[in-house]
Amino acid sequence: MDQKDYLLREIEKIGTLLKRCFSKMTGSEENLAIQLDVEFEEDKGMLLHELGFDMNLFLMLDEADSKKYLTEIKGFNSQNVEYLADILSYIGLNTDSHMTTEYLVKALMVYEICSSLDKTFSFDREQKISRIKSAL
């Protein structure tokens, strides 16, 4: 029972952290592209410190290694994986960074991983995938 409670707390912790990262990025329209780059760098540090999740490493991994990396971190359920994809997608769609395409490609990959983990069809997720494909 203690193990189950621990895992549920980890899932909730990751979800809360990812939601906080996303809400920080979407909070202001002033200098959006510059602010997003700064916020994302801060969020990468927070994810590394709080969860041991290395975003820079994750961005370099192929699909199989990405899926393995996500499943090795306790608390990354399909909902939290989708939050991560939402963050990558938002950054890719709203910045002029040299990494824009990489963020979008990775977001697409993470949505696909989420679909395979979740094993249910989501119209919302499919809309997000469509939006990314049209942006690429």
Question: What number is the average pLDDT over the span 46-66?
Answer: 92
Question: What are the respective helix, strand and coil percentages of the chain, to the nearest 5?
Answer: 80, 0, 20
Kindly report, residue by residue over 76-132, the tens digit of the pLDDT. Answer: 888 999 999 999 999 899 887 788 899 999 999 999 999 988 888 899 999 999 999
Q: What is the mean pLDDT of the chain?
A: 86
Tell me the pLDDT tens digit for each residue of 4-41. 777 788 888 888 888 878 777 776 555 555 577 778 88
Domain that holds residue 87: 2-135
Per-residue pLDDT at 61:
95
What is the number of domains present in the chain?
A: 1
Q: Which tops the pLDDT comparison, 31 or 55?
A: 55
* Backbone CA torsion sign across 66, 69, 71, 74: negative
